[in-house]
Structure 1
């Protein structure tokens, strides 16, 4: 009986890891405003929830809760850097967090 419970518990944990991994790395659904976005400025001092709200408002992410959840669970919320970002090549939450932790990457042309 105990062996069965251990196997079920291990199976459940593996299932959760696979599902969470899929949600973290799968392509994100962009909001409608994304097509118009050249770059996005993330000001200094924003909380993770405020950054998520800004990203959703500009169409970079489709839903805030998933973004905030992974930021809190994986401890990525404390390493977000202010700057101007180009999110055109980001495909997943993992890509967005990677970019936000490296710092601004937007190239701005002055004519």
Structure 2
């Protein structure tokens, strides 16, 4: 009886060892030694099971079940950030899971040159596939949005700071606009006292005169 129990214990121990070995080898080994880039979009509300199956189908992980089990063990299945990700097939499942949890979402760089108006900015963002031009224009011209962002004037014309931005797909027009206005305010704050000394409001600084005679506001507009 004792020998029988010992045999059962040995078999169970061997089985557990094999299972653990399989798990770690699978979880810490990439599906391919060749490097191929894959882009995957994780939608809000997507279950981890669907995420894992999508990654397996795209060849990013070898086994969806192993990834799902690891995510549950690590408490990561509910911490995945939605967005568009760029993976490579030489990443281990652990690295893939780490990227999902930390939200290493693919970013798109877009340059909005100095002198661009709202329509030109909208066209550049649309060309980058980040937002529909008509949606961006409508939001940038919305008086309520302008008021909520604390700027002077009925629209955001002049308050969208020209710069090179990195946006992720899925951001709303409001979120992009908010970042651009925040950048404007940060830069403007450096010259706000100077503007007050010249008797110029924020609105006057950013709005060109109809007759094109800038006067005292020209140096400030140049700095912005």
Global fold match (TM > 0.5): yes
2:69 counterpart residue number: 73
What do residues 62-109 of structure 1 show as CA deviations (whole Å, max 9, x unaligned)? Answer: 65xx22x12432313222111232323861111111111111332321
| Aligned pairs, number | 102
More helix by share: 1
When residues 13 and 56 of structure 1 are mapped into structure 2, their CA distance, relative to the original with a 3 A threshold, is: closer
Gaps of 5+ in 1: none
Partner of 1:25: 28
Write the mapping of 1:1-111 to structure 2, written as runs, cut at 5 A: 1=3, 2-29=5-32, 35=37, 37=38, 39-56=39-56, 59-61=58-60, 66-67=63-64, 69-74=65-70, 75=72, 76-88=76-88, 91-111=91-111
Where do 5+ consecutive residues of structure 2 fail to align?
A: 112-224
Q: Distance in 1 between matches of 2:55 and 2:7?
A: 45
- 1:55 is displaced (CA, Å) by 3.3
SS of residue in 2 equivalent to 1:15: helix
CA deviation after TM superposition for structure 1 residue 49, in Å: 3.2
For the pair shown, the structure with the greater C-alpha radius of gyration is 2
